[in-house]
Structure formats: structure tokens, C-alpha cells
Structure 1
Amino acid sequence: MKAGEEAGGADSEGPRKLGLCVLCGLPAAGKSTFARALGHQLRQQRGWAVGVVAYDDVMPDAFLEQVSAAPSPSQWKLLRQELLKYLDCFLMAVVNECQMSAPPDRTEAMWEDFITCLKDQDLVSSAALEAQSCYLLTKTAVSRSLFLVLDDNFYYQSMRYEVYQLARKYSLGFCQLFLDCPIETCLQRNGQRPRAVPAETIHLMRRKIEKPNPEKNAWEHNSLTIQSPACSSEASLEVTDLLLTALENPVKNVEDNWEQKETDRIICSASTLHQADQMLRRIISQTMKEAKGEQVPPYNLKLLAEELNKLRAEFLEDLRQGSNKKYLCFQQTTGISDVISFFHYEKDNIVQKYFSTQH
């Protein structure tokens, strides 16, 4: 495949490329088996460095034994966020081709499992300075194109978006693979495991799972659903194409965080309260310009501004409360145009006290 020849394999020319792949699906859907096979294929056929990070393997056994029961969702959330910090440390070292330093606030057992995971895949070597917890990257990690495959349920969109943000931070390729497996198969496989997930948990995840939705979320456009356990050779080609596409089209890291600002702008502009506030401010600004043009004395200008801003604050409070309104004595469905009309009426009553021109 032409794209593959330029994708930064072991012998290719040009800068190496880095990617993050989120592997998601129900417990016992076959994700870990698929991830190991994918890693082997990419190393053998593409010459890439591959790091498969299975969350179940890195979450510390000591923690599980300590709580003596299944961790709460909030505890799992904290652990996932901590693991993201570890991944951040590794990626920072890879991108800058430097030593990897351990974060100061870490769960020691979990960090050791993470380091072991990277060592087993020839991505880091022994600690350069044991006392300072610094680790050397291997030649494999710094000389080849690298794909990290994160193996977890990732059943909420928000869980996957955290990984996307990490890809954006370092301008990495990003993609998602969803293993779609019948729940009956998942339950059967799960029952054969030494540490089985409660069946009710799998049923709950099935009801709550948010599959990748490229049509709704632009950041999920590099996504592929694979039927498990029947992963055909055709599906294998689709997966390779997806990974190549991700590597060739890394997520752009806009330093001024334009995407977040644009999202915030859309949210704000959709807010009736925000729209009303902006329009009322413009009305007050225009009124004050007209007052200056009418040669209203400075002291009266100050009083006028105070009254108009007080009126604006009271209108906005009416909008916030939705009841017990002082001015907007009508239904919640009042539109912006109605709010502005009523404000103009009250504003004109105030203005008449300071200059004669009708507004």
C-alpha cells in the first residue's frame, strides 16, 4: 500500500510518526487478544514500534486487594487519569527524545506495572538514575514510528476524549477501534476468567456504552467498528488503513486552543442570558454616546450610566429567575426581541429625566 511505504516504518525516510489508538468495547469482547495480535502484526509487517497498554494489567493488584471489593466508579476514574499522566510522561520523552521522569504524585505499584509494560515491549530500558526515577528510552522507541494502543472498555465518550486531548497536546495521530461483540459471548468468556467481572456490570455497560459517533463528533472521524470474534483479513486491512490515515493526519495542536474557544463561543452564543447581556450593553453604550452629544453634564452622565446599568442588572436577574420578575412579567418563552423592546421602554423613561430627545 502506497501510504504504508511513507508511513515511517523502520527503514523509511523522513520524520517518524506517532499515534494513539483507543481500543474500546465491552469486557471480554476480545480486546486484549486483538491488541496483542495487532501489535505483533504492526511490528512484523510495518516495522513500527508498538506499545499495547492494557488498563487491567497496569491497574495495581495492591489497590484491588486493599479495597477488598470492586473499586467505585470514582476510584476507577482517578486511576485512569493517573495512567494518562504516565502516558503523558512517556510521550513527552518520546517527542523530545529525552529521558522519561516519573511523576512525583504516583501510585508506586501502578507506576512499576506501567514501566514493566513498556520494558516488555522494548520501549524503555532500566532506570538511568534509580534514585531520581529517570528511565532511558530504547532505540526502538526513538527511531521508529510508534503507535500506542490503549486497551480498556472506554464505554463513555468522555473517557476517549481525554485520550484525544493527549493526542492533540503532542500533535499525534488518533484513531478508535470498537470491538462489537454479542453480549452472550462476552458473558460466556467472562465467566471463564479467574477474576470475572460481575455479570450485572457487563449488562450495565451495554446499556450505557457510547459507541464512536463520527457523524456527531468530528474528533471521532477516525473510527472503525469491528465484529468480534470474527475478525477477517478484510477487517485487518481496514484497521491498517485506519492507522495509516491517523499517522498521516495528526491532530493539530493549536497553541491558542482555538477549538476550545470556539466550543465555548457556541455555548455562550446559545445562551439567552448571554445574548441579552451583550445586546443590553450595546444599547447602554449607544445611549451614553447620544447623551454626550446632547451635552449632558458629566455628573448627570455618571448618574445616567448608573441607572442604566442597574436596569440592565435587574433585567438579567429577571431572566435568571424565571419567576418573581420585576420587569419581564410574561412567560419563560419570551424571546430576545421582546426583552430588548421592554428594555428600550424602561430605558426611555430614564433617559427623559436627563435630556429631552426621545430615543
Structure 2
Amino acid sequence: METNIVITVLMGLPGAGKSTLCEALASTASDNPYFDGFIFIHVCFDTLIPLSLQEKFVEDKKAGVEDTTESWKQARHEVYLNVDKLLSCLKTDDYDFNVFKLFNVHKTSLGKDSKVVILLDDNFYYRSMRYEYFQLARKHTVGFMQVYIDIDYGIAIKQNLNRAHTVPEAAIYNMAQKFQHPKPRENRWEDPTFVTQSSGGADLKCFGNMVLNRMSFPVLPVENNESEKEEARLICSRNVAHQADLYLRSLVGKTIKEAHKKGSTNSKEFSARVNAARQYVMVSVRKGSLLFPPNLADNIDDNNRESFEKFILEEFQKSL
């Protein structure tokens, strides 16, 4: 089974050059022999969810506005739903004026032999954000791949200054700390990942070959729905374990530092005890013997991080 459509998720820090790469692909497609017959559809999240609105979400969150998180989720979900509609139109050769207009797609540009590449241009720093589009590829039986512009945090900061709308440095730093890098060896669905250290120096021939490969091997439906659910649960549990490990390591350093200030404990013995407590909690998390509240069991993000860290802290203190 083959397809002529590939969903391509671009990930990287703000300033990495994701939009630059998308624009370069779209503008050079007709002149580049590697992309003969390709149609690139650039889905830019910063256009669909304007930076002014994103900044408002951030300010509302700081001010404690209760529905900010839900508003942010809804804005992203609207993009997802429209990409879903776009795929339906492309698969059935249907025409939805509003959807095509939203993504700046001209019906006349789509030929029978066109190879359509949907470029999802966002940071996608959580693996769960990327996985939902893998599931969408499965729903429509189209190709799926990822593009990771892997640049140093310092370079991202410098390149961010050249953007028309800069992102606050603190926001880039926070995202860099939370970024869940692709791990194809652990997650088979991440295996088709194109990695480059520069949007301008990307190997376009290699990229084009990967797209063609994904067209030859689209994501197929799972016959056993339980297998798909188990796969989703596994991805979520890895996310929870990763976040727990990061936070526990910070707790170890903080706890030992505070004990040193007080000077009331044997430094070597106390450090060993603290690290043993961290390991005990992590083993419980990985084995699944630590029972998380329902809202913390599936995925950890900015919406529930505070509750998650409070829960882990309590378990850590019990183990000391």
C-alpha cells in the first residue's frame, strides 16, 4: 500500500529555523529536482495561533486566570481538527473552501500525481504533542516523519533575535529544559526522523528520499485496538518516568545542599541516604507500583506539573 501524502512534524527550539526551512522548501520545490511533483503545505502554528494570543495566554497564566490552560489546549486542538479535515479532503478529493483557504492551498495546484507534504511547524517539545499527529497519520493511512533541527541553546538565543517577533529568552530556556528529544530506538514510531543542525545546511536530497520512503510505507491501522492503547500507555509512562527522574535529581541536590547549610548530619551518609530514596522512588515509578492520581498517570506537562512535583516530593520524603 502506498500514499501520496506525508505528515511531517518539525521540532526544535524557537529560533532553530523551522519556519525558514519550511519556506525554503516551498519556494524551491518547483526548481529542485529532488522535489519533482511535490506540493508543500506549510502549517505554521505561530500564524494559526498568533504570538499576540500566545503572549496573552502566558500573561493570563501568571495572573492566575483559571481557564487559560483550557484556552491554550483548545487553540492547539483547533489546529489539529483542521489538519484532520485537510487530510480528509486530500484523501477523498473533496473540496472544503474554508479548510483550503486556512492553509493557503489552491485546488488547481493539486494534480493527480502530486506528492503532498504537510509541514507542521511548531516547537513540539513534548513527545505526546508529536504522537497525536502520528495517530492522525494512522487514522488516514498516510506517511509520517519528523524533522528535528537540533541546535545549541545559545545559537537559538542568537537566532531568535533576528526573528520578526522574538520569544522571551526565559521561555526558550524553559523549553530547552523540558524538551523531549526524539528517541527512535525506544519509540518505533519516531524511527523516521530527519536530524539536522541547521535549517540552511539541511541535506535536501536525504530529506526528499525520506519523504518518498514514507510514501511507500504509510502508517497502517492497528487491527487490534488494545495494541494501540498499550502503545499509547507505554509512551505516556515513559514521559511520566522521565519527568519524575528530572525532578528527583533536582530534589537530591537541593536536599543535600540544605543539609550542608545546617551542618547537622554526616555529609557522606546523608548523601547516600538521599540518593537511595531517589532510586527507590524511580524503581517504583518504572515498575508501575507507585500509584499516581488519575490526572498524573498519563502525561506530565505544564498543566499538571505543580501537582506532579508535589506528589513526587511527598513520596521522596517518605523514603528518606
Q: TM-score, normalised by structure 2?
A: 0.62
For 1:211, what is the secondary structure of its paired residue? coil
The residue type paired with residue 179 of structure 2 is: I
Deviations 1:292-321 (A, max 9, x none): xxxxxxxxxxxxxxxxxxxxxxxxxxx999
Aligned: 1:190 with 2:175: no
Counterparts of 1:222 and 1:15, CA distance in 2: 16
Counterparts of 1:198 and 1:37, CA distance in 2: 25
Counterparts of 2:231 and 2:2, CA distance in 1: 32
- For the pair shown, the structure with the greater C-alpha radius of gyration is 1
Larger mean CA deviation between 219-228 and 92-101 belongs to 92-101
Identify the match of residue 118 of structure 1 among 78, 98, 103: 103
Question: What is aligned with 1:27?
Answer: 14
Q: TM-score, normalised by structure 1?
A: 0.56
Shift of 1:188: 1.5
Question: What is aligned with 2:205?
Answer: 237
Shift of 1:41: 3.7
1:242-253 to structure 2, matched below 5 A, reads 242-253=210-221
8 Å CA contact 1:16, 1:144 repeated in 2: no
Identify which of structures 1 and 2 has the higher relative contact order when contacts are C-alpha pairs closer than 8 Å and 6+ apart. 2
Question: What is aligned with 1:77?
Answer: 73
8 Å CA contact 1:64, 1:70 repeated in 2: no
1:143/1:67 Cα in 2 relative to 1: closer, same or farther (>3 Å)? same
The residue type paired with residue 80 of structure 1 is: R
Q: RMSD of aligned C-alpha atoms?
A: 3.2
For 1:177, what is the secondary structure of its paired residue? strand
1:15/1:167 Cα in 2 relative to 1: closer, same or farther (>3 Å)? closer
Identify the match of residue 40 of structure 1 among 27, 44, 52: 27
Q: What stretches of structure 2 of length at least 5 have no aligned partner?
A: 62-67, 236-288, 292-320
Question: What is aligned with 1:208?
Answer: 178
1:320/1:17 Cα in 2 relative to 1: closer, same or farther (>3 Å)? closer
- What percentage of aligned pairs have identical amino acids? 30
Shift of 1:224: 1.8
Larger mean CA deviation between 175-184 and 34-43 belongs to 34-43
Question: What is aligned with 1:158?
Answer: 128
Shift of 1:193: 3.2
Q: What stretches of structure 1 of length at least 5 have no aligned partner?
A: 1-13, 103-113, 125-136, 268-318, 322-359
Aligned: 1:90 with 2:60: no
Deviations 1:96-135 (A, max 9, x none): 1112276xxxxxxxxxxx754523xxx24xxxxxxxxxxx
Question: What is aligned with 2:139?
Answer: 169
Counterparts of 1:214 and 1:151, CA distance in 2: 20
Counterparts of 2:163 and 2:234, CA distance in 1: 47
The residue type paired with residue 43 of structure 2 is: V
8 Å CA contact 1:181, 1:229 repeated in 2: no
1:320/1:212 Cα in 2 relative to 1: closer, same or farther (>3 Å)? closer
Counterparts of 1:17 and 1:219, CA distance in 2: 19
Question: What is aligned with 2:116?
Answer: 146
8 Å CA contact 2:39, 2:115 repeated in 1: yes
